[in-house]
Amino acid sequence: MAKYKIEVDRETCIGDQLCCNEAANTFEMDDEDIAVVKDPTGDSPEDVLTAAQGCPTDAIILHDEDTGEKIWPEE
């Protein structure tokens, strides 16, 4: 099961909060209504990927933790 290095691009996040709904144990909103990673292993990789794919601005960036391969957004 792939694990991801998870980043949120603060310049791109518009505070949609879908990520917090899809992977509530991984993401939370900070004081500026920007998503932050609170626990990279809080949810399954599938749920993290679903959250990233659902973000309307592709603000969530996933890399394979083992290989460094960029998983999302797709190039």
Please state, in angstroms and rounded to a whole number, the distance separating the CA atoms of residues 75 and 55: 16
Q: How many residues bind ligand F3S (CB under 6 A)?
A: 13
Site string for ligand F3S, 26-45 (x = CB under 6 A): ---------x----------
At 49 the three-state DSSP class reads helix
Q: Least Å distance between CB 52 and ligand F3S?
A: 8
Q: Residues, the chain, total?
A: 75
Tell me whether the omega of the peptide bond preceding residue 56 falls within 30 degrees of 0, making it cis: no
Residue with tokens 């290989």: 67
Residue from 4, 6, 13, 62 in contact with ligand F3S (CB under 6 A): 13
Q: Which residues bind ligand F3S (CB under 6 A)?
A: 8, 13-19, 35, 55, 57, 59-60
